[in-house]
Amino acid sequence: MIHPRSPTKQTQSPRPINESPDTFQVYIDTLFSLPSISNIKSVRIIARLCYGNQTKARQMTQSMSFVRNHYHSEYVALKPQIRFNQWLSFDDARLCELQREVLILFEIYASYLDETDSSSPHEIFDGTPMYLIGWCSQAIFNDEHYLITGERYLGIFDSTTNNRTGFYSLRNVFDRNCPILSVSFLEQSFVWPDVQPRDDKHPGNFTEISREKQENLSRLLKCPNLLLVDHSAMTTNDNRRQQFSLNISDEEREFSEEECHFLWSHRHFIIHKSYALPKLLKSRSIWDYPSLIDIYALLNEVTRDRTIDEIESFELLLPAFPDMHVRSFAYSSLISCLTSQDLLIYLPQLLQIIKFDYTHSSIIIEYLLQQAIVNYRLAHKLYWHLRQLLITEHLHYIRYYYLFLSLLYVLEENFRVELQNEYDLCLNLKRIGVKLKSNKSSNKGSLLVEQLNSLNKDFFRAGKLTCRLPCQSNFVTNSLDINSCSFFNSLTLPIKLVFNPIDSSCEKYYAIYKIGDDLRQDQIVLQLFACMDKIWQANDFDLRLSLFNVVQTQERCGFIEMITESETLREIESHSGTIKGSLGESALYDWLRLHNTTEREFRTALENLSYSCAAYCVATYILGIGDRHNDNIMVKHSGHLFHIDFGKYLGDTQKFGWFNRDRAPFVFTKQMLYAMSHAGTSNDALHRFVDLCCNAFCTLRQNSSLLLLLLSHLCSSDVLNLNYDAVRFVYDRLSPSANYAHSIAHFTGLIVDSLNSTWTTLNFLIHTFAQTTSSSSSSNTMPIGTTLSFIPKTYTIATDGKIKSAHVVSYDKRTHPTKHYLYKLKVEREVISDAMMINHQNTKRSCTTYHYRTYNEFYEFFERLNKQFPLIGLELKFSRQTEDKMVAQRRVSDINDFLENLFRLTLEVVDSDLVITFFHMIQQDQQVNDSKEKPSDEFSSRLSYDASPNNQPKIRVQLKYDSGKLFVMVRYANSLPLINGSDPNPYCKCYLFPDECKSTKRKGKTIMNSRNPIFNDTFTYEMDLSEIQKCVLRVSVWNNALTVGNHVLGEVDIVLSQIDWSKENAKDYTFFSIDS
């Protein structure tokens, strides 16, 4: 389309664009449909030629007055218009200099009749401020690499709701009433020719260049600036350099022009180094056709020399690299090293990365669709991610819509039907949730039951329709267990759902359906936890994380998987009473002992607690997880600790008014340590926990690039608080530039601070009181159960046999944890052995067992019996008087009367699960019985912790040789001797022998009053390794006694010639001499 005032260009056969010296031009025709009620005075359009986020050239129209009238055509009635009728010629952008991925960004600026908010984006034109009111963009080359021609009508995005981006064509397709910009391009035929990379260059030898250049190149390659800069934000080169040079350190700033030239000119000397390619490509500022010959040659050079791993691939896929050949190269490299499990983990990042592809089709999209055909789990996850993106990503809707349609096209018909059933289930659940929230009466429980019954009848068709769940693709259900469903009386009224499996041999599936919260934050945190676990597992650290699925199915609503057989810390503490549970130390230990009846199970549970707690301490610290009260931390019966509810993250803390409630670095309490140390009997429990945390933390620091890249790729997702400030926050937490010894000392200090923090206990107590006074429990109350507080599971005649009789035969005094009496029960029961059942014999054998219960446990049993069987008429006296020997003797008689009357009742009562459960053999019974067999032991379980290997004085020393220096890290010591009955004040010393003049003496800080001190002292010796290996390192611990003089508590000699410096050298050494 040639306009009257346009330069004339004749149509001709396509020519290579690199041969044209002509300038790029665009015709600005008309702006339609600006709101007529606005107070706009005049409008101006700025056109930018953009390559990624960089503005390569800029031109603008004249300012045009806003006319409030209507333009009528033969077919449509368009709203008020502004006719520009202007050609813009980019004199500093010749066609031969254009990049293949270049696009033109149109920005609409307006001046107003009255004052407006000066904080909105604006520029000054001829002394008049004009404010950005909208934008759109258009690619210069089409998918076949031809220069676009002719007329275009572009829908305008509102500047207040969308951020500008310059990566591919974007126009508003949502709002039918949005403004429309009409533009035209010259009718000229140009094509981008294929690039033929040169192959006459070969890698150089890094050692051939000067030492100074080697050091400068190594320094530049270590800079993390690519990870910490927002490459998607539109900016000019000058503004970009000024912004980041002011706000971040020299290490993190972008490269200067001199540094870029220095890197590129030495590219052949460093291309063989790992992770050098992204830095080299970023140093290249010109990406026109002649430049690509050298750039693509570099890619070929890399592939001949080494492989590109997932970290380097993810770095090449940052928005800093819009070139599609580079991105295709990165996609191919990433695909070659991804497993099917990796693909599931990284899927959220991949779906954000494709936003910055110039075209809608790419290698990664083809790969995702191919894998979805053969991997139903991936297809299921991809379906729900795309459903979510279609709701939240208005700006990129078309791209995701095409991918969504392509996914449905390649899937089998049966699977498409299953996915539609899942979506219909979500629609029904949302309708139920909205009804429940809008119901202001007190009969919400009845309403929920009524609605769920309708769901079973109408949606599941009385069990005839099967359906998978969005949060668990492997689970197939055909109904809800309505009696087990309920809701929580919190602000969002989450619904607890229990789904029945179609296979009766499978377990039921528990989930929460929640309306009102953006679950994408929880998804992101859990995905990053999964990435951390992947890193730990790859380094042979199994920290036993318990992760669960979260899926946002519609806007601000979705599913949260429930982990069964677990309780929150608040619930665990409540068993010991509100005050004692929150302020005491034994609640968690007692709860774990209760749920793990054998000694082996109990030890495993304590080990699981230590490992999982260490993992979550590290993970929640790095991600800045806030709002960590005792209802957001849970523990499984197996001891695995895990966190839930990640509404506060990346440094966003929970506040009470102006008061910050999250004051500890992370949650690690004395209650947790008490459990890990087997009720305080293990001297080295804290040290073992410190080792776990420090190993986990340092492993993540060594892989910090992957974590930072994954977080960087999510910054474009428009999730609250997820931006490049968050990436810098995680970078600061990881401190990858700090040395190893400093990071160990730093995290150990965080552990000590968290352990000693009174704010965590106070926060727990405040939350407990708040939950106690509010109605936080479910509206659907559960029926009276058959479990007791000290026996959490239910047992039956089938598991334990029939109880014939029981009576108290004696009692024993106990003083741990407080003074009380245990009453010894002799229980006669009938059991059928497995051999008898196999041989179909009905013969029963009698069995006598001994059990130990406190009087309070008897009374709890009595109360539960009366609740379950209110007409039985049993009696048992209760008194708060202090229990002494005379009281215990009297209670023996009372208990035996109670038991005698119990076993006179009907079989309905005597054979009930509650009675069988009370007389089940628990860990306490086994321990006391074992102690009777071994009278020298009070409890056999504690003897192992007091065994001699753990009580011998030891010291933990870590050795590392790096960059010509020996680092000696003295971590901690265990079981130091008492000094005159008191704890010592230890400090450590180091020597390298032979050393006649004591020049190698190093001395650490004094730790007051501790037999198990954490030193975290690091001593440095700058010596050649050959000299180091001739020495013996002596590490000693001394007592600092000002009055009588210092004396040695123990020492150890380490022969350094026997150390393998290629491995981690952290070891416990037993002192060979002790002066007590």
pLDDT tens per residue across span 806-831: 999 999 888 776 778 899 999 998 87
373 pLDDT exceeds 60? yes
User: How many angstroms separate the CA atoms of 279 and 299, rounded?
Assistant: 13
159 pLDDT exceeds 80? yes
- Cβ proximity of 941 and 678 under 8 Å: yes
Q: What is the pTM of this model?
A: 0.84
Instruction: Let me know whether 736 and 802 are in one domain.
Output: no
Query: Greatest CA separation found in the chain?
Result: 116
- Number of C-beta neighbours around residue 538 at 10 A: 10
Greater confidence, 951 or 515? Answer: 515
CA distances from 545 to 592, 636, 640, 642 (A): 18, 11, 7, 7
User: How many angstroms separate the CA atoms of 786 and 792, rounded?
Assistant: 9
- Residue labelled with tokens 């600026």: 109
Instruction: Let me know whether 166 and 208 are in one domain.
Output: no
**Number of helices (H) and strands (E), helices first, in the chain?**
36, 38
Q: Name the domain boundary from 308, 326, 360.
A: 308
Q: Which of 5-14, 276-285, 585-594 is least confident? A: 5-14
Q: Which of 566-570, 701-705, 797-801 is least confident? A: 797-801
- Cβ proximity of 70 and 80 under 8 Å: yes
Instruction: Let me know whether 303 and 425 are in one domain.
Output: no
Contacts of 264 (CB under 8 A, 6+ apart): 280, 283, 284
- pLDDT at position 775 is 43
Instruction: Let me know whether 176 and 206 are in one domain.
Output: no
Q: Which domain, by its residues, includes 651?
A: 578-773
| Nearest residue to 470 via CA among 585, 381, 584 | 381
- Cβ proximity of 109 and 138 under 8 Å: no
Instruction: Note whether residue 124 is domain-resident.
Output: yes
794 pLDDT exceeds 90? no
Q: Is 1018 exposed, middle or buried (0-12, 13-18, 19+ CB in 10 A)?
A: buried
- Cβ proximity of 1015 and 1059 under 8 Å: no
**What CATH code is carried by the domain that includes residue 462?**
3.30.1010.10
Instruction: Let me know whether 585 and 713 are in one domain.
Output: yes
Give residue 251's pLDDT band: very low, low, confident or very high (50, 70, 90): low
**What CATH code is carried by the domain that includes residue 584?**
1.10.1070.11
Instruction: Let me know whether 903 and 991 are in one domain.
Output: no
User: How many angstroms separate the CA atoms of 627 and 629, rounded?
Assistant: 6
Token couple for 63: 């300012």
Instruction: Let me know whether 153 and 23 are in one domain.
Output: yes
**What CATH code is carried by the domain that includes residue 842?**
3.30.1520.10
Domain count along the chain = 6
Instruction: Note whether residue 938 is domain-resident.
Output: no
**Cα dihedral 436/441/444/448 (nearest 10):** -50
Greater confidence, 747 or 177? Answer: 747
In this prediction, residues 791-813 reach a mean pLDDT of 87
Give residue 343's pLDDT band: very low, low, confident or very high (50, 70, 90): very high
Instruction: Note whether residue 927 is domain-resident.
Output: no
- Cβ proximity of 644 and 517 under 8 Å: no
Q: What is the pLDDT of residues 348-367, one digit of tens each?
A: 999 999 999 999 999 999 99
| Nearest residue to 661 via CA among 590, 769, 557, 765 | 765
Q: What is the pLDDT of residues 487-512, one digit of tens each?
A: 988 888 999 999 999 998 889 999 99
Instruction: Let me know whether 746 and 878 are in one domain.
Output: no
Q: Coil, strand, or helix at residue 104?
A: strand
User: How many angstroms separate the CA atoms of 557 and 546, rounded?
Assistant: 23
Per-residue buried b or exposed e for 794-808, using 16+ beta carbons within 10 Å of the residue's own CB: ebebeebbbbeebbb
Phi/psi region, residue 1074 (left: phi>0; alpha: psi -120 to 50; beta: rest), is beta
Q: Phi and psi dihedrals of 730, rounded to 5?
A: -65, -35
- Residue labelled with tokens 């089940």: 920
Could you report how far apart the first and last alpha carbons of the chain are, in Å? 99
Q: What is the pLDDT of residues 179-224, one digit of tens each?
A: 999 999 999 999 999 999 988 777 889 999 999 999 999 999 988 8
Instruction: Note whether residue 573 is domain-resident.
Output: no
Q: Is 643 exposed, middle or buried (0-12, 13-18, 19+ CB in 10 A)?
A: buried
Q: Which of 123-127, 147-151, 1070-1074 is least confident? A: 1070-1074
Q: Is 523 exposed, middle or buried (0-12, 13-18, 19+ CB in 10 A)?
A: buried
**What CATH code is carried by the domain that includes residue 155?**
2.60.40.150
Instruction: Let me know whether 893 and 970 are in one domain.
Output: no
Instruction: Let me know whether 863 and 894 are in one domain.
Output: yes
Instruction: Note whether residue 1020 is domain-resident.
Output: yes
Instruction: Note whether residue 907 is domain-resident.
Output: yes
Instruction: Note whether residue 69 is domain-resident.
Output: yes
Q: Coil, strand, or helix at residue 771?
A: helix
Instruction: Let me know whether 615 and 750 are in one domain.
Output: yes
Greater confidence, 183 or 788? Answer: 183
Q: Phi and psi dihedrals of 849, rounded to 5?
A: -130, 160
- Cβ proximity of 624 and 733 under 8 Å: yes
- pLDDT at position 215 is 92
Give residue 962's pLDDT band: very low, low, confident or very high (50, 70, 90): confident
Per-residue buried b or exposed e for 299-337, using 16+ beta carbons within 10 Å of the residue's own CB: bebbeeeeebebbbbbbbbbbbbbbbbbbebbbebbbee
User: How many angstroms separate the CA atoms of 273 and 809, rounded?
Assistant: 78
Instruction: Note whether residue 611 is domain-resident.
Output: yes
Instruction: Let me know whether 1027 and 910 are in one domain.
Output: no
